[in-house]
Every structure is written in structure tokens, then in C-alpha cells.
Amino acid sequence: MFCYKIHESGGMRILAIADKDAVGKKVMHKGVEISVEKDFYFERESSRKEILQIVKKFIRGNSHINAIGNEIVQLLVKEKIVDEDSVVDLSGVKHVQIYSMD
């Protein structure tokens, strides 16, 4: 299960997606603590099928996708939405960002 929230700012749309079990957790990466904040990532819950539909619609236009969690990032790689080389490992938690500028 995944959770997501859509943000809009200055003409840019941001889709924040996380594995549901990652929300509320903190990870350390190179001495920096990164929080997977509920306020940023959680507005609605979604299944795999639903989140893929949302992502595919979202990547058109001036948008940014911020995804964190091993399951969501693995799904995005499997579906060839992102390349494995774009994935960052944050102390065992996968993270990826996608920018679309039309």
C-alpha cells in the first residue's frame, strides 16, 4: 500500500509518494537525518494499480515526483518510469525524484 499527496506551488505540481510503512520514519544519510513527514507524503492511500495510473498522468507537464520507500521505487523501476541509475539509497531506504518540464 502506498500513500501520496499532491502539492502545487508557483505553477509546479509535486507528487509526493511513499510506502505507507515509511511515513513517520527517519533515515540517516551521510550524517543528515531525513524525515518522511506525514504532512508531505500522506493525504490519500493507493494500491499499486492506482498509483501507477496517477504517476503516468502526473508526469505530463511541469511536474516533479518525489518517491521514497523500497516498494514504490522498485515499482517505478520495474515499470520503466525511472532508471535504476537514478535511485538513491538512503541507508537502506530507496528514494528517487522525477522532473518533467514541458
Domain ranges of the chain: 2-100
Beta strand 32-35 with 88-90 is unpaired
CATH class of 2-100: alpha beta
What pLDDT is attached to residue 40?
Answer: 95
Whether 32 has a pLDDT exceeding 70, the answer reads yes
Asked if 73 contacts 94 with a C-beta cutoff of 8 angstroms, the reply is yes
Whether 18 has a pLDDT exceeding 70, the answer reads yes
Residue 36's pLDDT band, with cuts at 50, 70 and 90, is very high
In the chain, at which residue ranges do the beta strands (DSSP E only) sit? 2-9, 12-19, 26-29, 32-35, 44-46, 63-68, 88-90, 93-100
Whether 102 has a pLDDT exceeding 70, the answer reads no
Of 26-35, 39-48, 89-98, which range is least confident? Answer: 26-35
Residue 28's pLDDT band, with cuts at 50, 70 and 90, is confident
Residue 99, all three cell numbers: 522532473
